């Protein structure tokens, strides 16, 4: 989605090496995604308005802002995804900022050395249709009261450029300041990543979502900055210059609060989630969207005559829920569906008898990919429950679309992507699809952890063990997606350098020792426990 819609699924596998430029490969680690499912409010007019606005504009800002620097090196990573609002949004979790880590705290006469502080964690939309990263900050006005906000003052690595920016999303807008910050996802870290710290937003955020993380190309970024995923490639953190999605489908009914959402893999693929080979199709020249040329569209075995050239360009977009295309092609499609017609819901929306057979397939230059009937029906018409609203819309209705402005004519969102395993590859620029494994839902959302502890070296030379755990159902904010990015635990017997020339030896049985000290200051005779690392 060019900045709008919520999305996506993830599962990340990663290995860690040095913080230098050489890559240390590691096998992928795949972690389940949690889907949050709530009752869905159907407002197709608003949704289509947002979609049309999204693909009819280009945000601009001054010169490019480059991101550089890493703290960790990982080869492949799997990150859990949260599916929100019955497949209308898929979310991931990122960790932001660098807190002070060696402060002493004093409460009365008790002095303790606390555990290492954690960055701030936020749920964000994973969006292959936009490129910017933005978060609502703690000074945000008009943000929903449920929105967790970013506190820049709590991070020692936050830096503002002072450059204001406004992001327009059709259904709303967000304004803030272009900033630089340390951002982590599933073990991958980029320092000085461009982040828009948003202080005013209207009509965009819902629930506990704090922002959007874009996965399109730099040319689409309103900030003109290098996106997170491209920064990972530029700093040699990924084994392969690609990322992939398996998007889970919500079950019928609205009585399940938290369900698995799918798997997102950075730096490779999860071969347990698909069968056969990934069919890659080269992209036409572009520096903005992930696009392919739509070459085939069939309904009930009938080939539909569709446009070619710029009117065939299709964006593969995790930030969009449905499928939409140019007027002539969409009308030709629905004309081939018996007894279909325009919906009273609004322009560009069609319905058909709910009992009507509807077998749909699409091609992007290779094989035909079928789309499940589950993803072709939005809901029964409120005015006539025997007729169902179809999931392919006219993108051009009530818009001033210009096929020469560089925007894609077709949008294939989650309604299509739930039917295939999708791989986005940067070099050569291409998109690949594969048939889902028959048990993809089970393999993509395991109840037990598939991620072993992975040794890591941070920028200070510290040797840490990153532990990953899988979760099912509800979980706390820091572990809801099934892995730990901010909680660091040293393994038994590991020698770790805490600062230049100083080392700590952590034993299996005791990580701390308590020493009795007698103070004669504010306390009369008081025993104070001091927690210290064993030397």
**Sequence-separated (6 or more) residues with CB below 8 Å from residue 457:** 16, 17, 18, 19, 72, 463, 464
Q: What are phi and psi of 365, to 5 degrees?
A: 110, -5
> Which of 209, 210, 205, 227 lies closest to 218, judged by CA?
227
For this structure, is 317 an active site residue? yes
Q: What are phi and psi of 110, to 5 degrees?
A: -95, 120
445 CB-side CA count, 13 A: 24
Q: Are 465 and 491 in contact (CB under 8 A)?
A: yes
CA distance 59 to 166: 9
For this structure, is 87 an active site residue? no
Geometric angle at alpha carbon 52, from 46 and 55, rounded to 5°: 140
> Which of 463, 430, 336, 443 lies closest to 392, judged by CA?
336
Q: Are 251 and 399 in contact (CB under 8 A)?
A: no
> Which of 5, 280, 293 lies closest to 125, judged by CA?
5
From residue 133, how far is each of 44, 87, 211, 220 by CA, in Å? 26, 22, 7, 12
Q: Which of 191, 258, 317, 375 is catalytic?
A: 317
Q: Are 499 and 461 in contact (CB under 8 A)?
A: no
Geometric angle at alpha carbon 477, from 472 and 481, rounded to 5°: 40
Q: Which of 127, 199, 329, 414 is catalytic?
A: 127
452 CB-side CA count, 13 A: 7
**Strand, coil or helix: 315:** strand
Task: Show which residues are catalytic.
Answer: 127, 317
């Amino acid at each position: 989605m060019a900045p709008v819609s919520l999305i996506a699924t993830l599962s990340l596998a990663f290995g860690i090496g040095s913080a230098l430029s050489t890559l240390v490969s590691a096998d992928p680690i795949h972690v389940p995604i949690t889907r949050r499912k709530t009752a869905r409010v159907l407002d197709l007019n608003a949704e289509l308005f947002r979609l049309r606005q999204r693909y009819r504009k280009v945000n601009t800002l001054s010169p490019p802002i480059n991101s550089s620097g890493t703290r960790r090196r990982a080869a492949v990573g799997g990150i859990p995804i949260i599916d929100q609002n019955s497949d209308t949004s898929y979310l991931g979790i990122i960790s932001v900022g660098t807190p002070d880590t060696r402060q002493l705290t004093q409460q009365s006469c008790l002095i303790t050395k606390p555990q290492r502080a954690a960055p701030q964690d936020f749920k964000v939309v994973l969006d292959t249709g936009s490129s910017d990263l933005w978060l609502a900050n703690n000074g945000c006005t008009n943000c929903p009261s449920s929105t967790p906000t970013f506190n820049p003052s709590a991070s020692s690595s936050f830096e503002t450029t002072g450059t204001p920016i406004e992001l327009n999303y059709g259904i709303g807008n967000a304004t803030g300041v272009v900033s630089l910050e340390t951002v982590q996802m599933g073990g991958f870290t980029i320092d000085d990543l461009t982040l828009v710290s948003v202080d005013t937003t209207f009509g965009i955020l819902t629930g506990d979502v704090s922002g959007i993380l874009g996965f399109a190309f730099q040319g689409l970024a309103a900030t003109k900055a290098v996106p997170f995923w491209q920064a990972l490639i530029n700093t040699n953190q990924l084994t392969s210059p690609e990322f992939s999605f398996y998007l889970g489908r919500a079950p019928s009914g609205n009585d399940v609060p938290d369900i698995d959402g799918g798997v997102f893999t950075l730096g490779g693929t999860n071969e347990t989630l698909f069968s056969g080979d990934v069919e890659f199709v080269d992209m036409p020249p572009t520096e903005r969207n992930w696009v392919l040329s739509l070459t085939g569209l069939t309904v009930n075995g009938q080939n539909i005559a569709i446009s070619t050239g710029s009117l065939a360009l299709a964006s593969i977009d995790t930030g969009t829920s449905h499928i939409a295309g140019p007027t002539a092609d969409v009308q030709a499609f629905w004309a081939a569906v018996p007894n279909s017609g325009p919906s009273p819901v609004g322009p560009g929306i069609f319905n058909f008898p709910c009992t009507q057979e509807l077998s749909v397939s699409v091609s992007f230059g290779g094989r035909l990919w079928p789309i499940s009937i589950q993803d072709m029906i939005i809901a029964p018409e409120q005015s006539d429950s025997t007729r169902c609203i179809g999931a392919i819309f006219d993108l051009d209705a009530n818009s001033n679309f210009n096929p020469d402005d560089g925007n894609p004519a077709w949008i294939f969102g989650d309604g299509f992507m739930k039917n295939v395993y999708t791989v986005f590859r940067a070099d050569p620029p291409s998109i690949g699809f594969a048939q889902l494994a028959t048990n993809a839902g089970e393999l993509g959302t395991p109840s037990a952890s598939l991620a072993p502890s992975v040794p890591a070296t941070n920028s200070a030379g510290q040797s840490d063990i990153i532990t990953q755990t899988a979760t099912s159902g509800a979980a706390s904010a820091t572990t809801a997606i099934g892995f730990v990015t901010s909680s660091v635990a040293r393994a038994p017997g590991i020698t770790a350098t805490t600062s230049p020339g100083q080392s700590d030896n952590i034993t299996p049985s005791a990580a701390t020792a308590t020493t009795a000290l007698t103070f004669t200051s504010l306390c009369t005779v008081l025993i104070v426990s001091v927690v210290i690392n064993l030397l």
